[in-house]
Structure 1
Amino acid sequence: MPSKFKDVTHVIFDMDGLLLNTEVLYTVATQNILDMYFQNPRKIYTWDVKVGLMGLQTEQVSRKIVDIYDIPITWEEYAALAGEQIKILMKNCEKCAGAERLVKHLYDKNVPICLATSSSKESFDVKTVHHKELFKMFQHITMGSSDPEVAHGKPAPDIFLVAASRFPDKPKHENCLVFEDAPNGVTAALAAGMQVVMVPDIHVPESQRQDATQVLKTLNDFKPEDFNLPAFDES
């Protein structure tokens, strides 16, 4: 039976919440900062707020949280506090289910792969300190919060357009497949003219999953042949 998906040649991965299980740690970090300023009554970092911020760049997130919770500091001060929390919490983050298996498979099969993360260089270095072998497999890495060529964060398509342009053979956008966990990332990938496989958090509502090309529970469920990529070797 023919696949309902279009063939691709290149793959672009998001990082947070997709390859590395950092999103729960971001929740802890944000709540820790809120607790510094609001004790009675306590302000809670809710999922409704979080889902709208997933995948955004550092400045975007910082501005929105300061505004939404009316924190009496500048966004720059919030970003600095968040950076301190990241250094404490993120250095021991773990890989998500199926992440290493899929990345290594595509790497071994010579499929061009790259990373497109909204993280800054400083944040990336902390999160990946124990996963260097995994991230060495990517042909290149685009870090949205530190990259001057990424003018606008997700849900704008900039980060995926920049990442695709850095493949040496300059693939057409429609030949790129994006892996994402966040609704903002899905919107960005589609705006870039790419197909997108979504591996959402269980709390992401159905209404925010519908636009994705394919939705999976974990990366272990991905079948490369659906997009005419090399299939996993039979064990």
Structure 2
Amino acid sequence: MQFNKVTHVLFDLDGLLIDSEDLYTETFTRVSAKYGKQFTWELKASLLGFQASECADKIIETLELPTTREEFMALKGVPIALATSSSQDSVQMKMQNHKEFLQLFDHLVMGSSDPAVTKGKPDPAIFLVCAARFPDKPKPEDCLVLEDAVNGMKAANAANMSVVVVPDPRIDSAQLTGATLVLRSLEEFKPEVFGLPAYDE
């Protein structure tokens, strides 16, 4: 099955974020392998706390890759951001042991403390604000939202974005008819069905 192609991915926080670290490790491993180099645990550990662009610089320097930061970031391929209804204080508290992980996102939008987000989900404001903060300002239809909640799904629908929902199993499936795709786990996500780079086996 093939869905609308997307270029940018927006993550909800609660229930989804921790699974995302594997996506970044996979991406850095894949990009490094294109140059015949190995993205090791030692290198990954040295990047903790870095912003995405700083990660690119460090990987290029350490592995002596014949590329620029801009080319590396383009190969990374999928700009991702966080769009959570939580406040900045709440995110900092919940993620205090995962600060390095938050640094991997291109940007963070925390709805409860962001003045640009005028209403909470199911209003589309948070996703529209989040998409508008990417430097290339993608159209809503070029964005994919990863969510676990019905209100998040509704907000993505209202924003005219594709949405993959990984719901709590107790949610009635009849409430999820607005989802582009429903998965039991993020591990089932196949980015290639949305035109994104596939994971390497």
Do the two structures share a fold, i.e. TM-score over 0.5? yes
Instruction: Decide whether the 8 Å contact of 1:102 with 1:220 is kept in 2.
Output: no
Kindly indicate whether residue 8 of structure 2 is the aligned counterpart of residue 5 of structure 1. no
Kindly indicate whether residue 120 of structure 2 is the aligned counterpart of residue 153 of structure 1. yes
Kindly indicate whether residue 179 of structure 2 is the aligned counterpart of residue 217 of structure 1. no
Q: Normalised by the size of structure 2, how large is the TM-score?
A: 0.74
Tell me how far apart the structure 2 counterparts of residues 162 and 120 of structure 1 sit (CA, whole Å): 15
Which deviates further from its counterpart, 184-193 or 206-215? 206-215
Tell me how far apart the structure 2 counterparts of residues 223 and 139 of structure 1 sit (CA, whole Å): 21
Select the residue among 102, 113, 116 that pairs with 2:23.
Answer: 102
Residue equivalent to 2:87: 120
Identity of aligned residues (%): 57
Q: Normalised by the size of structure 1, how large is the TM-score?
A: 0.63
Residue equivalent to 1:184: 151
Instruction: Decide whether the 8 Å contact of 1:103 with 1:134 is kept in 2.
Output: no
Code of the aligned partner of 1:11: V
Residue equivalent to 1:201: 168
Aligned-residue CA RMSD (Å): 1.4
1:40-93 deviation per Cα after TM superposition (whole angstroms, max 9, x unaligned): xxxxxxxxxxxxxxxxxxxxxxxxxxxxxxxxxxxxxxxxxxxxxxxxxxxxxx
Structure 2 portions without partners, runs of 5+? 32-75
Tell me how far apart the structure 2 counterparts of residues 140 and 182 of structure 1 sit (CA, whole Å): 21
Tell me how far apart the structure 2 counterparts of residues 106 and 218 of structure 1 sit (CA, whole Å): 19
Tell me how far apart the structure 2 counterparts of residues 100 and 215 of structure 1 sit (CA, whole Å): 21
Describe the shift of the 1:104–1:177 C-alpha distance in structure 2 as closer, same or farther (beyond 3 A).
farther
Tell me how far apart the structure 1 counterparts of residues 176 and 27 of structure 2 sit (CA, whole Å): 25
Shift of 1:169: 0.2
Code of the aligned partner of 2:151: N
Residue equivalent to 1:141: 108
User: What is the number of residues matched between the two proteins?
Assistant: 155
Kindly indicate whether residue 24 of structure 2 is the aligned counterpart of residue 14 of structure 1. no
After superposition, residues 169-180 of structure 1 pair within 5 angstroms as 169-180=136-147
Code of the aligned partner of 1:100: E
Code of the aligned partner of 2:171: V
Shift of 1:211: 1.2
